[in-house]
Amino acid sequence: MSTRVIIERMGAGGDGIAATAAGSAYVPFSLPGEVANVALENGRATMMALLEPSPERVAPSCRHFEECGGCTLQHWQDSAYQEWKRSLVQDALGGRGLVFKLDPLVPCLPETRRRTVFAVRTSERGAVLGFNRHLSHELIDIAECPITVPEIVSRLDDLRDLVAVLGGGMKPFKLTVTSTASGLDITASGCGAPDAAKRQALTALVIKKGFARLSFEGEIIVEPRKPLVHFGKVPVFLPPGGFLQATADAEEAMCDLVTAHLAKAKKTLDLFCGSGTFAFRIAEKSSVHAVENDQGAVAAIDRSVRYVQGLKPVSVERRDLFRRPFLARELAPFNGLVFDPPRAGAEAQAIEIAKSSVSKVAAVSCNPVTLARDLSILVKGGYKIDRVVPIDQFLWSSHVEAVALLSKK
């Protein structure tokens, strides 16, 4: 039985929200103002017929849209989509009562995502590589992906050949593929450790296909070439499974904002520094102490520093900032600070920063909700939010990056 609904607004997860007799219903792949017949089940709805489409509805860019769950918003006109995505940051921070200047959204172009996590498995008909259907565990095999760089998309069949050798039975597993200057860096997880015979076969295939590296849950299986990226002027060899911003354009936009804000700092602290995304760019003008818990990332920074000239001093420290945040007294030598934590944010660290006298702080986040919480802590500690810039690093999804710039007199 279907129910006629009107989509009233877009939810934070990218689904349209409609009012029904049973309460609010979430309607995937709908837009505000649309009228549709839907099948309802436990607050979620499946669109059965679109009766009145929105004038903001456009033709999707990908043949797999609505089938593959990789994108949820390809059908929305650019300006309306971008304003909604900007509102995710506005609403999260405004909900905390924060006062700030919100910049326009920095857009993301198609074919720019350089790091993709595929769902894969083997089947009786061969290897399947793609993404899970929206809100489902069903794996959809793909032939294209308009958000991903051509260097990855053009190798989908080669990646399927790799999946076939990795095996794993019928159970799905993950294949993280990163495009680097040296070629594709591939990490498999969830498929079981390969035995000696399989390692030999994988080595031969990786060399034949010209991949840069294959690793399994952090262990290198074969590495014909070290995966190379550049952070500013500094070449860095990524550790296996190492974090890299999803698009190079978004990384540049974030780094330009952070380095400009911290330009007058003489000594800067980079917390949750990864393999040096911000640290090496900041080091062109000031000394940097970079802190990260991942040993591979720490080693990558330390190795790169040894072979690069023309930078201010860069020191590195391995430290779990969730368990042992930098205390206010440890922050005293620094007059600039940037932190870029995982989605959980950095509540404990924000509490210590709020007690400090660091004059310039840049907060980078992929989660507006935890960013709002952390910024409210800093504001209560005397910081002023100078500017917040939303960045659409995750095109056609409900995720958004943001950079907040703060100062304290």
Per-residue pLDDT reduced to its tens digit, 336-383:
999 999 999 999 999 999 999 999 999 999 999 999 999 999 999 999
Residues carrying CATH 2.40.50.140, the chain: 3-57
Check pLDDT > 80 for residue 1: no
How many percent of the chain have pLDDT more than 90? Answer: 91
Q: In what order do the strands lie in the sheet with 314-318?
A: 314-318, 287-292, 267-271, 336-339, 360-365, 401-407, 384-391
How many percent of the chain have pLDDT more than 70? Answer: 100
Residues carrying CATH 3.40.50.150, the chain: 82-109+246-407
**In terms of Cα–Cα distance, which of 149, 157, 218, 140 is closest to 186?**
218
Check pLDDT > 90 for residue 124: no
Amino acid identity at 385:
I
| Radius of gyration over every alpha carbon of the chain, rounded to an integer in angstroms | 23
pLDDT given for residue 307 in this prediction: 87
Q: Which CATH number is 3-57's, of 2.40.50.140, 1.10.3210.50, 1.10.3720.10, 3.40.50.1260?
A: 2.40.50.140
Check pLDDT > 90 for residue 137: no
pLDDT given for residue 167 in this prediction: 86
pLDDT band at 170 (very low <50, low <70, confident <90, very high): confident
Residues carrying CATH 2.40.50.1070, the chain: 115-228
pLDDT given for residue 22 in this prediction: 85
Active-site residues, by number, are 366
Question: How far is CA 229 from each of CA 56, 244, 287, rounded to the nearest angstrom?
Answer: 38, 9, 22
Task: Name the helix (H) or strand (E) containing 344.
Answer: none
Please state the φ and ψ torsions of residue 372, each to the nearest 5 degrees: -60, -45
Bridge partners (DSSP) listed for residue 317 = 291
76-85 pLDDT, tens digit each: 999 999 999 9
Please provide the CATH number assigned to the domain covering 82-109+246-407: 3.40.50.150
For residues 188-197, average pLDDT: 91
pLDDT band at 327 (very low <50, low <70, confident <90, very high): very high
For domain 115-228, give the fold: OB fold (Dihydrolipoamide Acetyltransferase, E2P) (2.40.50)
